[in-house]
Amino acid sequence: MPAPASIEEKTGTLTLQGTSARYFANSETAERMAKLYAAYLDANFGLKLQKGTMQDAQVIFSDDDHLPKEGYQLTITNRKAVLQGHEAGLFYGLQTLQQVSRNKTKLGLVLPMVTIKDEPRFGYRGVMLDVGRYYLPVTYIKQYIDVIASLKLNRFHWHLTEDQGWRIEIKKYPRLTTVGSQRKETNKGHLSENKFDGKPHGGFYTQEEVKDIVAYAAERFVTVVPEIEMPGHATAALASYPQLGCTGGPYEVSTKWGVHKEVFCAGNDETFTFLEDVLTEILPLFPSQYIHIGGDECPKDRWKQCPKCQARIKALGLKDEHELQSYFIGRIEKFLNAKGRKIIGWDEILEGGLAPDATVMSWRGEAGGKEAARQRHDVIMTPNTYLYLDYYQGAPSSNHSPSADTCRWTKYTNTNHCPKTSRRKNKNTSSAYRATCGPSIFPPAPFRITSPSPRPGAGGNHMEPEREKGLRRLPQAYARRIVRSRKTRR
């Protein structure tokens, strides 16, 4: 899972037996993959895979840079299993090898004879985790990255700032974590019920923890893309530094979900100084080419009433507050471009004019992505209609987990929903599909890493929509992680 580009099944099997099973690897990377496979076999089947030679090995890991980037070939005969690939390709091939290594018999571990060739359709294949609304510990983040990597996804979109909490240490602005990372209580149940749990919630990641997580992800060929929200979803930052808002406050870290009127003041130069300072500390922590700057759900109420914002609109000859947001995003883009980075923004950044080199993440259906592609911009498709995994899977009454909407994701797993505009007219401008998966309004609980488990896999299959072979079974180690916490559902 996801289904490979090509699979040729044959009659016969390869059996790995007891302590006689051997592997051979022809490079440092291949050796690392071999050791990961050996650890997998030992943990799940008690089978000890020892290092051998090319002549006596039953499993061969071959570093081969002639294959496509991120591509691999797995060939299993009745004598040997040969995995070919380079760097990430070898790693993704390892995930497939583990998937077919699940039939333990009295004779040993039985692998089917098969030839699998695979390479990803999209270069950007990611999943988002929202820690702004609920802080999650480093151990959870690493387990989440393990799941991402097992599904051959290569981007971890880390949503770090929100109205309900600022989650990353910025040394120049310590109040972002002493104030902005804490809220006094949390909305519980549906937003319309206006109920709260009365329990303080908080937490943040130090810069050293961030470095550790980024390195951990890189070892698994996952790039971490940070999201620092602007100009909206800024209440936690404004509670920390009220002078950055249009009214000057007072503000408090939000205790409820939804869209809030309090946003960064676009007419105040101190706002841009602050954001540039924050990004200056962010960039060394994240080698990602892309920095996500949000751009979504920014009400214009305060800007319409703010003398500084209105003065900015007049001075720049802007038409309205939508063009003021475009100016805001464009100014941040210029700053990041000068640092050698590119921006990603939610599809609202189309309003008022798209920044010159921006990549659009289309979440409100497909229309925004199609329009951005028409304008020859890169697009990451994330339509909430079927890729928001914190939505209900079916009728709300049949689910244990509360959320805002219904997402019938199973309708999309075997169909090609890549927008025709992107596939035909602008084939190279649609970068990827991303499955959005995060606690959002869910409370943190041990089962959350596994509760939506089939759905990121469905999203992974959806990223290769022209392959109508259905979902492949999860590797056994991952499957065990899923069922282990089922009884903790609330």
**Alpha carbon distance, N-terminus to C-terminus of the chain:** 28
Residue 91, pLDDT > 50, answer yes
Residue 448, pLDDT > 70, answer no
User: 175-206: per-residue pLDDT in tens?
Assistant: 999 999 999 999 988 778 889 999 999 999 99
472 within 8 A of 2, measured Cβ to Cβ: yes
**E strand intervals along 409-482:** 430-436
Q: Tokens 């065990």 label which residue?
A: 480
Residue 290 structure tokens: 């892309």
More confident residue, 401 or 345: 345
Question: What number is the average pLDDT over the span 371-394?
Answer: 82
User: 268-283: per-residue pLDDT in tens?
Assistant: 999 999 999 999 999 9
Strand partners, 230: 294
In the prediction, which pLDDT does 385 show? 80
Residue/partner pairs of 238-242 with CB below 8 Å, 24 or more apart = 238/262, 238/264, 239/179, 239/180, 240/166, 240/173, 240/175, 240/176, 240/178, 240/179, 240/180, 241/173, 241/175, 241/176, 241/274
Residue 484, pLDDT > 90, answer no
Q: Which amino acid, one-letter code, is at 170?
A: I
Q: Give the model's confidence band at 396: pLDDT under 50 very low, under 70 low, under 90 confident, else very high.
A: low
Q: Give the model's confidence band at 3: pLDDT under 50 very low, under 70 low, under 90 confident, else very high.
A: confident
Residue 468, pLDDT > 90, answer no
Phi, psi of 236 (to 5 degrees): -65, -40
Q: Tokens 């002639």 label which residue?
A: 66
In the prediction, which pLDDT does 397 show? 56
Nearest to 161 by CA among 243, 263, 261: 263
Residue 53 structure tokens: 């030679």
Phi, psi of 396 (to 5 degrees): -55, -35
Q: Give the model's confidence band at 464: pLDDT under 50 very low, under 70 low, under 90 confident, else very high.
A: low
What's the pTM value of the predicted model, to 2 decimals? 0.87
Residue 425 structure tokens: 């007219």
Residue 2, pLDDT > 60, answer yes
d(CA 396, CA 404): 9
Residue 427, pLDDT > 80, answer no
Residue 242, pLDDT > 90, answer yes
User: 355-382: per-residue pLDDT in tens?
Assistant: 999 999 999 988 999 999 999 999 998 8
How far lies 415's CA from each of 242, 304, 396, 435, 455, in Å? 48, 44, 24, 15, 15
182-183/201-202 β-pairing: antiparallel
Domains and CATH numbers, the chain: 6-120 (3.30.379.10), 126-382 (3.20.20.80), 396-463 (no CATH)
Residue 23, pLDDT > 50, answer yes
Q: Give the model's confidence band at 404: pLDDT under 50 very low, under 70 low, under 90 confident, else very high.
A: very low
Nearest to 345 by CA among 364, 324, 318, 320: 364
Q: Give the model's confidence band at 232: pLDDT under 50 very low, under 70 low, under 90 confident, else very high.
A: very high
Q: Give the model's confidence band at 419: pLDDT under 50 very low, under 70 low, under 90 confident, else very high.
A: low
Question: What number is the average pLDDT over the span 304-333?
Answer: 98
**E strand intervals along 236-340:** 290-294
In the prediction, which pLDDT does 175 show? 98
Residue 453, pLDDT > 60, answer no
Q: What is the mean pLDDT of the chain?
A: 84
Q: Give the model's confidence band at 416: pLDDT under 50 very low, under 70 low, under 90 confident, else very high.
A: low
